């Protein structure tokens, strides 16, 4: 049976820009851009998991807002179920503990980045909502 992986991603918007995170070179999907987040642990709701992951990965607290997109994408390593949510920063400035790079990008320029395939539907939705 193919491994099912349930993850969440944060579309953090600040001053009209979206926070994008580039995966490190030694990780799966090395060098691809994604929305920061991570795996949903047993017993967590997607929103609780996302708040926890953002605190762990970026050292900031966020308020989870509206859902952006729910995507299912089959990779060689398994099937990723990605739920993305708009988020608002509550405290601090994001700093990376797991990503090679963080970048604030205008919605219209998001498609200039090399995105992980599961994140592309969310990129399209964000662009259509901010056109």
pLDDT tens digit sequence for 1-41? 789 999 999 999 999 999 999 998 877 888 999 999 999 99
- Listed by start position, the domains of the chain span 4-129
pLDDT tens digit sequence for 92-124? 899 988 899 999 999 999 999 999 999 999 999
Q: Which residues of 22-48 are buried (b: 16+ CB within 10 A; e: fewer)?
A: bbeeeeebeebbbbbbbebeeebebbe
In angstroms, the CA 93 to CA 114 distance is 24
Looking at residue 98, what is its pLDDT? 85
Looking at residue 31, what is its pLDDT? 92
Arithmetic mean of pLDDT, 69-79: 94
pLDDT tens digit sequence for 41-59? 999 999 999 999 999 999 9
Residue 71, φ and ψ in degrees, nearest 5: -125, 145
In angstroms, the CA 10 to CA 89 distance is 10
Hey, which CATH number is domain 4-129, 3.40.50.1100, 3.90.79.10, 3.10.50.40, 1.10.3720.10? 3.90.79.10
The CA-atom distances, in angstroms, between 101 and each of 32, 34, 51, 109, 115 are: 10, 11, 20, 17, 13
Looking at residue 1, what is its pLDDT? 75
């Amino acid at each position: 049976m193919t491994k099912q992986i349930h993850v969440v991603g944060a579309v953090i918007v600040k001053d009209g820009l979206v926070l994008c995170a580039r995966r490190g070179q030694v990780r799966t999907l090395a060098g691809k851009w994604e929305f920061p987040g991570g795996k949903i642990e047993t017993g967590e709701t997607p929103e609780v998991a996302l708040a926890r992951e953002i605190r762990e990965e970026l050292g900031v607290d966020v308020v989870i807002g509206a859902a952006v997109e729910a995507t299912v994408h089959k990779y060689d390593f398994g099937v990723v179920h990605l739920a993305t949510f708009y988020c608002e920063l509550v405290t601090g400035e994001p700093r990376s503990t797991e990503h090679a790079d963080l970048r604030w990008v205008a919605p219209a320029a998001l498609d200039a980045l090399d995105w992980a395939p599961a994140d592309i539907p969310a990129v399209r939705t964000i662009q259509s909502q901010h056109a």
